[in-house]
Chain A
Amino acid sequence: MIAAFMFAMLVLGVPIGVAFALVVMAKADAWNIDVSSLASIPYDTVSSFPLLAIPLFLLGGELMNRGGLIRQLTAVCDALLGWVRAPLGYIMILASALMGAITGSSVATVAAIGGTVGKEMTARGYPLGYTAALNASAALLGVLIPPSIPLILYGSVVGVSITQLFTASIGPGVVMMLAFCVVHRLVVGRVLAGGQELKPAHSPRQGPGREGLAKLLVRSIPALVLPILVLGGIYSGVFTPTEAAAVAALYALAVTVIGRLTRVGELPGIFSRAAAASAAILVIIGFTSIFNRAMVLEQIPQNIATYATTLTDSPLVFLLVVNVALLLIGMVMETNAATLLMGPLLAPAAAKFGIDPVHFAIILVTNIELGLLTPPMAANLYVAARTVGSNVISLLRYLAPFLLAAVAVQALITYVPQLSLWYRYIP
């Protein structure tokens, strides 16, 4: 009954955080939830230092995007990869990875890269559907390449080191990037007329030459420094992930203002856009936490763990079941909400099977991320289609190979723990 009520609310389009909170309100008595805790739980959840990273990374991304720094990163990728066949596809993948190293958000990556590289791909003869499909798929790197908002969420609700999670996601991120490059290489011959990109008259494709490349690199140093600053700061132990987010935002602000890449008058708009995007995520984090608390009070995670161990004693079978379940959940739930709900529910069961908590976090988050490519709740597809100007149906025609590649990488992540835990083998 309660599941049907929740399902109906979600289908109607009630905000996800609100739907979960309403369910808890309706069942507060039965679940022994004190009414006064309805306010204190979301307040305690959002007043958390690690979660500060989310608005600050989103602000950094917004400043980078509005200040044109993303365009500079794209130009560098273009100069470096211009010599290969059909380079724009690779540029989109690489630029998405770089954008992911700044914002930690998949949907933000779709919008930023689709709006820049996507337009150029269309001008060079790529079908809109293919451009949108590649844009949506490559943006998965926005979460897999650290920093990553879902990993921050997972780390803070399950109690795993966020720095370790970021380190662990590098290997899977690189493999996913290579997998998308291979798919692009294999299918681009059929996608492009004559298997080659057009050379539009308005922007002739000529390599910048050695001198030009050097100038471009020098001009792009401020943009290229940011990912190094963020990741270098975290891994060298100078910053926590939250502090790295603040440094990134401050740096992007300084570069865009001092470099006159944006007018000071535009800053309030940039801040308000980042604030609204952050608020939408924080609402989910705050109000789904009540549902999480109810689940814990009802001992649901423990029951799932016990039930799973009675079904099988094989961690491989358990992981397979988890993979399928999370794929289905990712289809109908928003990524951050699904991470917040499923992380605390499944982590105890994974621990019972002896699965490393860091490895399990990467499995869970990547698995849920695939949901961004699988309708009905496929934010990447919808945002990519809107940004590139395609329709969703023509996008779907080109999506299958990228989705299959992502599923194959997911299987690798699941069954080859060394891919995530590589850093433990380095003396």
Chain B
Amino acid sequence: MTVTALETRRAVPGGWLDATELRIFRAERWLCSAALVVMLVAVSISVVARYFNLPIPNVGEFATVAMSPLAFVGAALCTFLQEHIAVDVIKLVRSESVQRVVRGAVALSLLAFSGVYVWVGYTFFEESLHSGETLIDMGTPVAVPVFFLFLGMVLMVFHAAMELWRVMAGRPAATLGEAE
């Protein structure tokens, strides 16, 4: 669960696709960290406003909006980092060929999952955009947090496809570049 992988992984030389994936990963990491900052600031402001009875609207709404990028873009981030919570019992099997098959099966299931979610996520985004629905306190359009669901799943498709390609090419799992 802890993200020590961020520090410990080392580069595998790769082509432009690997470099693109790394750039996307950095953007995801930045976005998720920013979402955490927004949550921290928004909830803190709402506590202070309530405690001191300040005439500030409920900015706590921004915190709940920020949950969407953290969860769904974070899902893509976890796919790249292989930080998803899973039953890791199969990793006890030391056979390389078994591990390769398992990696392939996991990547395929992630691809199927995120592929369906790109579709349903886009439909949901389109509906919320056209409905013009907004959140109660600050009037944030619902389409904003919903967009991150769609975006996160698109990014997850990309990472899962890259992992599947690596498995088929007999390459090890994704790792961070030396620059990290």
Contact = CB atoms under 8 A, between A and B. Distances in A.
Do the two chains bind?
yes
Interface of A: 9-19, 21-22, 25, 35-36, 38-40, 42-43, 46-49, 51-52, 55-56, 59, 107-108, 111, 238-239, 242-243, 245-247, 249-250, 253, 268-269, 271-286, 332-334, 336-337, 376-377, 379, 382-383
A52 B33 contact: no
Contact of A38 (B43, B46, B68, B120): B120
B1 A47 contact: no
A250 B44 contact: yes
Contact of B149 (A11, A43, A333, A379): A43
Given A56-B40, A276-B32, A279-B71, A269 B6 contact: yes
B165 interface: no
B57 to A, nearest CB: 15
A286 B156 CA distance: 15
Nearest to B60: A49
Contacts of B173: none
B86 A16 contact: yes
B44 A377 contact: no
B63 A273 contact: no
A338 to B, nearest CB: 11
B85 A243 contact: no
Interface string B21-51: 0000000010011011101100110110001
A246 B70 contact: no
Given A12-B102, A48-B67, A111 B2 contact: yes
Contacts of A35: 120
B69 to A, nearest CB: 9
A25 B35 contact: no
Interface of B: 1-3, 6-7, 29, 32-33, 35-37, 39-40, 43-44, 46-47, 51, 60, 63-65, 67-68, 70-75, 77-78, 81, 83-91, 102, 105-106, 109-110, 112-113, 116-117, 120-121, 123-124, 127, 145-146, 149
A218 B168 CA distance: 59
Contacts of B83: 276-277, 279-280
Contacts of B70: 55, 275, 278-279, 282
A283 B74 contact: yes
B13 to A, nearest CB: 24
Given A59-B36, A280-B85, A242 B74 contact: no
5 closest A-B pairs by CB: A279-B74, A15-B84, A246-B43, A275-B32, A282-B71
Q: Interface SS of chain B: helix, strand, loop or mixed?
A: helix
Contact of A334 (B35, B39, B85): B85
Contacts of B46: 243
B74 to A, nearest CB: 2
B67 A377 contact: no
A282 B117 contact: no
27 contacts: A9-B109, A10-B86, A13-B90, A16-B87, A36-B120, A36-B124, A38-B116, A39-B120, A42-B71, A47-B145, A52-B64, A269-B6, A272-B6, A272-B33, A275-B36, A275-B74, A276-B3, A276-B74, A276-B78, A279-B70, A280-B74, A280-B78, A280-B83, A281-B85, A283-B74, A286-B71, A382-B88
Contacts of B85: 15-17, 280-281, 283-284, 334, 336-337
Contact of A277 (B3, B64, B72, B116): B3
Given A18-B113, A22-B113, A246-B43, A275 B33 contact: yes
Given A246-B47, A273-B6, A377-B87, A279 B77 contact: yes
A82 B142 CA distance: 56
A22 B116 CA distance: 9
Contacts of A10: 86-87
A47 B37 contact: no
Contacts of B64: 47-49, 52
Given A25-B116, A246-B44, A280-B78, A271 B33 contact: yes
B150 to A, nearest CB: 8
A36 B123 contact: yes
Contacts of A281: 85
A393 B141 CA distance: 54
A43 B78 contact: no
Contacts of B120: 35-36, 38-39
Contact of A49 (B63, B88, B124): B63
A92 B8 CA distance: 27
A345 B80 CA distance: 33
B2 A108 contact: yes
